[in-house]
Amino acid sequence: MRAGSRPSWPGRLHLIAALYVLSTLVSIPELQAQSRIEEGFARVINQFRWTSSLTVHEQSADWSIHLVNHFRSDAFVLFNDRLSFRDEDLFSLSLRRPYKSTEIVIYGQGGWYSLSKVVSTSAYGGLRIGNPVKYWFEPLLGVALDRRPGIRNGNGLGGGGGSTLEPDPLRTDIGPAIGFNARLPLSNFDGYDIEISGLGRYEILSPRRSDRFRVHGEVTKTYNQLRTQTLFKLSSVRRDTYQGAPSIHAERGPEGIIETIKSTRSDTLDIGLDVDQSISSSFSIGGRLSAALTRRRVRILSPSEEALVFETDFNRNDIGAEIMMQYAKGDYFLRFSLHVGAQEEQRNLVNQDDLPTAQAARKTLLLRQAEFDRGVVEARLRSRFPLGGSSRLRLDISTNIVRHDTPEVNPDDRDELFYRGVIGTTTRLTDGLEVQLQLFGTYFHTVYLKSVRSVDNNVQRSLRFRPSIRWRPRARTRIELISQVRATYTVDDFVLPGRRSTDQSARELRYDLELEHGAGETATFKFTGRISDLRLGRFLEDSFAEIPFDTLITTNLWGRIEVGREIQAEIGYRSFVRSDFDRALTLKYPIPFVPGDEIGPDSTPDIGTITRKGRRTISQTGPTGAITWRMRRNSHLRFEGWAILQRINFRLYGELPDQDAEAIRDAASKGTSTVIPNLSVSMLWRF
């Protein structure tokens, strides 16, 4: 635990839970254990991360316990060696015990977030009524607590007399809560298979409130070869938070910030109907209808008459329809689908009559700019069939047309056309040798319908060829080599007079290699490598040529040897080198002493700075190692590390000052060196 970084209770939660589980195990005989603890630590460059996870799932004839807790702590080393912490802890608890003809149930959940200083927790208890096989219902009573920063009136802006150095006050709200859980397991009613589940929570955190309600259902009917399935989900969530609002008289002078309570309620309804009709054993047709309705309302509870607040309504409607045909027989597969969808989003300011005219007009304009209507049509064909012998062909082609309509105040009105295609062959030459060829192609055309943005109209074409070889000559030997050639060209529809074209090209050649070879009974050699050469340039479409402006070369190689079984050791060496071009490299170098200058014993050379075009090379090399102790019941303890020797050097282009040229070249070649230790520790213990 780091002093001053966070409260002590989240860091000790796992110990408390572990002791609780231990005491429970002692007092409750014949429990079936399905529990585990996971701990981890990792340092990667300037980030330290601690993770911890506790899962307890114990069950006996009298008790059922389920506890889950996840804790994560991040520390970032910023400038001047200053540490910044971010901690989070989430937990949930479920207890059940038979009582007469029913069951006693207890639920708890909570979370803690250090950055926002939010603590939220709740506990419920009740009875499970009904037959678990047929149906059950749980009425619940409980208590909820929520602590989060409020808003200090004035906030140092001239009102309330507050100081800017004072933190915002923490508001702790606690109150009663009621809720329910219900479930109807999969049951058959007159030929219909029905399954329904739901939950509800109502928490009175005066002066705030928190609500959750969710119902999920599924109805399936099969008649001869026709199968229909209806899915629906209804949810409603309300969250109240503290929010600062400026004074309505802010234009006449700073009056400070006023605390208000922002209440957000989101209601969603999702409905889907799937139909599948089998025509024969190998051919079927189907369809899907879907609709999603979302309503979100933002209200300010009991606002001050001096507060400038905005109350809004958000409505979004999504509907879609899809038809499909499928043929599948042996190695032959063909599927065609056609999808049509529409989306509509509207936002309204509901309290504009209570606002100053200028403020209401400005907010209404912002809300109108976010509205849109969208229509989508997509057709897709997927196929797989043998070519003869041991070769197979795979095909995946789709086209997508989008019409995105916006109000007049929003220039984002556009049409989009997207083609995508993949064709590939797989050939098995021998039992252990497989060759795969894949060709990917895309075409994306964007057309803005309003003249103010029509200059952004462009076409992007991309083509990728990816051959790969997978060879397994022996049981413990595996070689996989993947190469890829990619070319992407982005071309504007037109160029305004007096401006230069922004057409671009990107070409990449990449190789990926994975090698694994077993030697002896317990030794394994592994090697992974990647080499990538990416060239960017200004594209000249008329002559199909380019003017290069950047080249990024990346090499990543890692070889290691693993030995052992129960205790496994790994040692290796890793190298990462990246080289790229920069139009404005800035280099600092020591200015050499001029003959005749007085040089004292404590004299240090002056530092000069030069900026030129050039190439920057970053190399990270060093040994890697790991030790893994595999214990019984799939438990393990693992230490892993990589000692990085990082070196950054430069190569400057162009003329250099004659008097400092040698010093500049030496400083660029020498560069900077840093040693970065990376370490990770992880533990999984099942008990």
Instruction: Outline where DSSP puts E strands in 16-81.
Output: 32-33, 36-44, 47-59, 64-77
Task: Determine the pLDDT at residue 442.
Answer: 98
Whose structure tokens read 């109807």?
A: 184
The pLDDT value given to residue 501: 83
Question: What's the mean pLDDT in 471-494?
Answer: 94
Give me the pLDDT at residue 81, please. Answer: 76
pLDDT by residue (tens digit) across 646-674?
A: 999 999 988 888 888 888 888 898 889 99
Please give the pLDDT value at position 576.
96
Q: How far apart are CA 684 and CA 682, in angstroms?
A: 7
Model-level pTM? 0.82
Cis omega (within 30 of 0) for bond into 29: no
* Average pLDDT score over residue span 259-272: 95
- Per-chain mean pLDDT for the chain: 88
Q: Is the per-residue pLDDT at 485 higher than 80?
A: yes
Cβ proximity of 265 and 297 under 8 Å: yes
Asked if the model's pLDDT at residue 255 lies above 60, the reply is no
Given a cut of 50, whether residue 411 has pLDDT beyond it is: yes
10 Å CB burial of residue 1 (0-12, 13-18, 19+) is: exposed
The tens digit of pLDDT for each residue in 7-32 reads 344 444 444 444 344 334 333 444 45
**594 has pLDDT over 90:** no
- CA–CA separation, 367 vs 406, rounded Å? 12
Q: Give the span between the Cα atoms of 181 and 489, in whole angstroms.
A: 55
- Give mean pLDDT, residues 273-284: 94
> What is the Cα–Cα distance from 407 to 414, expressed in whole angstroms?
12
Residue 156 confidence class, pLDDT cut points 50, 70, 90: very low
The distance from CA 159 to its chain's CA centroid, rounded to whole angstroms, is 41
- How confident is the model over 448-466, as a mean pLDDT? 93
pLDDT of residue 495: 85
**The pLDDT of residue 113:** 94
SS3 content of the chain, % helix, strand, coil (to 5): 10, 70, 20
Question: Does residue 153 register a pLDDT over 80?
Answer: no
Mean pLDDT of 324-350: 96
DSSP conformational letter for 602: T
Residue 106's pLDDT band, with cuts at 50, 70 and 90, is very high
For range 460-464, the mean pLDDT = 97
Query: CA distances (Å), 388 to each of 385, 424, 446, 510, in order?
Result: 9, 15, 41, 31
Pairwise pLDDT comparison (253 vs 136), residue with the higher score = 136
Of 214-223, 259-268, 652-661, the range with the lowest mean pLDDT is: 652-661
CA–CA gap between residue 243 and residue 221 (Å, rounded): 49
Does 487 score more than 50 pLDDT? yes
In order, the DSSP letters of 527-569 are EEEEEEEEEEEEEETTTTEEEEEEEEEEEEEEEEEEE-SSEEE
Tens digit of pLDDT for each residue in 570-591? 999 999 999 998 888 888 888 8
- In the predicted model, is pLDDT for residue 599 greater than 60? no
Alpha carbon distances (Å) from 442 to 489, 490, 504, 535, 541:
11, 12, 16, 19, 18
List 603's β-bridge partners, or say none. none
Res 163 pLDDT > 90: no
Whether residue 494 is predicted with pLDDT greater than 50 in this model: the reply is yes
pLDDT for position 220: 95
d(CA 249, CA 157): 13
